[in-house]
């Protein structure tokens, strides 16, 4: 089906590779390819003629074997040290992480808040490596996770970084191990679980502690195409992003229920059978592209901005409440020409905290970017639903018995373009087929309890994990059809208007910490983050119109162009900004989300 004319779009213009320009003073501090990287390192090494120790810390997922071998080939006389032999044995590491893995649970564990990289090292082995480094002369290269701890006084500190999403792709391809193990080939979902609850937390703590000390950042996201930038250029790029509107790099993934809308509107390749998800603003996993002179871009994790510029990006109130985390998530769920999402529920905050170590839960909402006639959203249970009867039917269906009849127990509502459905934690929900959902939610997205998946298999040919027993503990049975109609479906409140614009509050629910506002406009409309001291980050999506221009009234940043369906971040430090259609008089609309101030 051709969706573009129905959307009133002239042509696909969704930018899949947005970037942030590095300030001119640092725009040439980039070297591409191992030969160029070695040449730049030689210039630095020359300042240490008798002995030079280079520590190359590697984020989980980085192919440290390739890094080590490539540099060894460039510096044949160097003493090259692999960090991995300084780790505890795999048996010891498995015992170390076991308390956070939830036993045999295929999905859920407990978020590690205590382990550090030092806990993975064997004290005796690590000290032997340090003593060995002290006895060497000439060039010493220490490469791998924990390299910073093995060579704390290194003359040159390089951080080999990688976005989490690329790490997940490598796990799927059997090309990556978890921290302290050699487990490539393990089921990718189990590697991901270990990464989510343990590895990324450990590596991120070390990253935050050392980022200001990095002499260089090494981008190995693209195989055999490394790029090195100076630490100063990296920090300058992060500062630039935190003081202007920007977009992270979206990534798309197929799924058992996926559709075809994104393939056309976002001009995606024909390879996968469908595209189910697009993570358009999940800084924990998305990339950020830094643009250097000559058109070169360097891919880094967008979470680096959160870690290094939390006050400018998030604002003091949001940072004080959540720490260096980005609490708002925008993503797409495409079922146009696909199937229903899983019938599911999200845990209450207290349940998430007690069971998983997560301080808040996945409150969310479905904003309908598009929907075909007959589309529906399941939301809440039907009035008078017998909880025991519903749970019994779910259990029977899960064991291969009679398929679960969602229409018997779940309330459903017609869904059309620009409808907004609010989904506070504990509410039964599911978007039906032939919908294009902009999901606006809190960030801890792994915490979904699937109750029924329509008797289908995942893309791996195996049943997807279902969590009826956990779900049963958090379902809010009072959120029935009557409640949803009154409080969760198109709960839209006009707020203000002016020449060529009007503003509406569309949610979220009072139990949720995210506020959403929709602006319709044919002319310029003013927004304000509240500033970095008292305000908070804004996240927006252009939900109507081909193109809009975001500008600073004071010229604090260059005009920023956004296209239909693109999500963009406006840091708290920006303060006042305006948005206008690129074609005067052409109606556009944005959805904006921000963290509500606590009373």
Please write the tens of the pLDDT for every residue from 544-554: 999 999 999 99
Which pLDDT band, with edges at 50, 70 and 90, does 2 fall under?
A: confident
Q: What share of the chain is helix, strand, coil (3-state, %, to 5)?
A: 30, 30, 40
CA dihedral angle for residue 86, residue 91, residue 95, residue 98, rounded to 10 degrees: 110
* Per-residue model confidence (pLDDT) at position 445: 58
The pLDDT tens digits of the residues spanning 395-435 come to 999 998 999 999 999 999 999 999 999 999 999 999 999 99
**Mind giving me the DSSP string for 360-379?**
S---EEEEEEEE-TT-EEEE
pLDDT digits (tens, 9 = 90+) for 10-53: 667 999 999 999 999 999 999 999 999 999 999 999 999 899 99
Instruction: Give CATH for domain 492-595.
Output: 2.60.120.10
Domain boundaries of the chain, sorted by first residue: 29-241, 252-292+312-487, 492-595
Give the HSE-up count for residue 85: Cα atoms under 13 Å, Cβ half-sphere.
9
Is the pLDDT at 353 greater than 60? The verdict is: yes
* The pLDDT of residue 512 is above 90: no
The answer to whether 157 and 55 are in contact (CB under 8 A) is: yes
Q: What is the pLDDT of residue 362?
A: 80
Q: What's residue 300's pLDDT? A: 98
Position 409 scores a pLDDT of 98
Q: Quick one: three-class SS letters along 7-62?
A: HCCCCCCCCCCCEEECCHHHCCCEEECHHHHHHHHHHHHCCCCCEEEEEEEECCCC
Predicted local confidence at residue 59, as pLDDT? 98
Q: Are 168 and 188 in contact (CB under 8 A)?
A: yes
Pairing state of beta strands 547-551 and 576-581?
Answer: antiparallel
Measure CA 485 to chain center: 32
For domain 29-241, give the fold. Answer: Rossmann fold (3.40.50)
Q: Per residue in 161-201, pLDDT tens?
A: 999 999 999 999 999 999 999 999 899 999 999 999 999 99
Of 391, 399, 396, the residue nearest 469 (C-alpha): 391
Q: For the segment 142-157, what is each residue's pLDDT rounded down to a tens digit? A: 999 999 999 999 999 9
Of the pLDDT bands very low, low, confident and very high (cuts 50, 70, 90), residue 444 is low
pLDDT at position 598: 62
Phi then psi for residue 531, to 5 deg, are 85, 165
Rg for the chain (alpha carbons), in Å?
25
Q: What gap in Å lies between CA 518 and CA 493, rounded to an integer?
A: 10
Lowest mean pLDDT among 95-104, 348-357, 520-529: 348-357
> pLDDT averaged over the chain?
94
Interatomic CA distance for residues 93 and 191, integer angstroms: 14
Q: Evaluate if residue 599 carries a pLDDT over 60.
A: no
CB contact set of 471 (below 8 Å; sequence gap of 6+): 344, 345, 449, 450, 451
Q: Tell me: pLDDT of 540 over 60.
A: yes
CB contact at 8 A, 114 and 99: no
Please report the pLDDT score of residue 63 as a whole number. Answer: 96
Query: What are the contacts of 306-311 at 24+ separation with CB within 8 A?
Result: 307/204, 307/207, 307/208, 307/211, 308/211, 308/212, 308/235, 308/238, 308/239, 309/238, 309/239, 309/241, 309/242, 309/571, 311/532, 311/572, 311/573
Residue in the block written with tokens 């680096």: 304
Mean pLDDT of 555-571: 98
Report the pLDDT value the prediction gives residue 198, as an integer from 0 to 100: 97
The whole-number pLDDT of residue 415 equals 98
- pLDDT 10s digits, 204-256: 999 999 999 999 999 999 988 999 999 999 999 999 999 999 999 999 999 99
What pLDDT sits at residue 360? 75
- The whole-number pLDDT of residue 331 equals 95
Same topology, domains 252-292+312-487 and 492-595? Answer is yes
Fold observed for domain 252-292+312-487: Jelly Rolls (2.60.120)
329-345 mean pLDDT: 96
CB 70 within 8 A of CB 225: no
Q: Residue 570: phi, psi to the nearest 5?
A: -115, 105
Q: Answer for the pair 181, 95: CB distance below 8 angstroms, yes or no.
A: no
Is the pLDDT reported for residue 6 higher than 90?
A: no
């Amino acid at each position: 089906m051709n969706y573009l004319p129905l959307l009133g779009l002239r042509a696909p213009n969704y930018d899949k590779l947005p970037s942030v320009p590095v300030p001119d003073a640092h725009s040439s501090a980039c070297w591409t390819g191992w030969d160029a990287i070695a040449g730049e390192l030689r210039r630095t090494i020359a300042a240490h003629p008798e002995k030079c120790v280079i520590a190359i810390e590697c984020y989980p997922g980085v192919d440290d074997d390739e890094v080590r071998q490539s540099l060894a080939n460039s510096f044949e006389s160097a003493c090259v040290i692999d960090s991995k032999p300084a780790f505890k044995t795999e048996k010891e590491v498995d015992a170390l992480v076991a308390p956070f893995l939830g036993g045999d649970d295929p999905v859920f564990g407990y978020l590690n808040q205590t382990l550090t990289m030092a806990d993975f090292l064997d004290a005796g082995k690590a000290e032997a490596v340090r003593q060995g480094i002290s006895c060497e002369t000439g060039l010493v290269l220490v490469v791998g996770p924990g390299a910073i701890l093995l060579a704390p006084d290194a003359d040159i500190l390089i951080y080999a970084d990688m976005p989490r999403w690329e790490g997940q792709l490598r796990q799927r391809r059997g090309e990556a191990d978890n921290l302290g193990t050699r487990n490539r080939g393990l089921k990718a979902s189990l590697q991901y679980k270990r990464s989510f609850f343990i590895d990324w937390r450990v590596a991120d703590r070390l990253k935050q502690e050392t980022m200001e000390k990095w002499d260089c950042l090494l981008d190995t996201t693209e195989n055999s195409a490394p790029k090195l930038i100076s630490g100063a250029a990296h920090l300058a790029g992060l500062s630039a992003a935190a003081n202007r509107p920007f977009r992270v790099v979206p990534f798309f993934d197929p799924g058992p229920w996926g559709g075809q809308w994104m393939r056309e509107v976002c001009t995606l390749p024909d390879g996968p059978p469908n595209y189910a998800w697009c993570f358009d603003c999940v800084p924990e996993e998305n990339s950020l592209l830094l643009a250097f002179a000559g058109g070169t871009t360097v891919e880094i994790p967008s979470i680096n901005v959160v870690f290094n510029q939390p006050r400018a990006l998030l604002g003091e109130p949001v940072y004080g409440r959540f720490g260096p985390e980005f609490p708002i998530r925008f993503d797409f769920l495409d079922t146009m020409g696909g199937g229903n999402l899983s019938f599911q529920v999200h845990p209450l905050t207290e349940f998430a905290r007690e069971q998983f170590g997560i301080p808040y839960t996945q409150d969310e909402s479905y904003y309908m970017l598009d929907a075909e006639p007959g589309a529906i959203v399941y939301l809440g249970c039907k009035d008078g639903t017998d909880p025991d009867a519903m749970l019994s039917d779910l259990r029977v269906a899960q064991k291969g018995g009679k398929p679960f009849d969602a229409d018997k127990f779940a309330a459903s509502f017609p869904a059309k373009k620009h409808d907004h459905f609010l989904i506070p934690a504990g509410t039964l929900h599911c978007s039906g087929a032939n919908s294009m959902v902009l999901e606006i939610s809190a960030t801890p997205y792994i915490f979904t309890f699937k109750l029924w998946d329509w008797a289908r298999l995942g893309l791996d040919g195996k049943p997807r994990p279902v969590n009826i027993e956990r779900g049963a503990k958090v379902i809010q049975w009072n959120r029935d059809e009557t409640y949803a109609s009154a409080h969760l479906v198109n709960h839209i409140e006009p707020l203000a208007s002016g020449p060529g614009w009007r503003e509406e509050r569309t949610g979220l629910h009072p139990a949720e910490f995210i506020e959403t506002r929709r602006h319709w406009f044919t002319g310029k409309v003013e927004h304000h983050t509240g500033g970095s001291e008292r305000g908070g980050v804004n996240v927006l999506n252009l939900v109507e119109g081909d193109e809009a221009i975001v500008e600073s009234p004071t010229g604090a940043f260059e005009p920023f162009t956004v296209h239909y369906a693109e999500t963009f971040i406006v840091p708290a430090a920006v303060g006042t900004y305006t948005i206008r259609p690129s074609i005067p008089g052409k109606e556009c609309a944005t959805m904006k989300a921000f963290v509500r101030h606590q009373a």
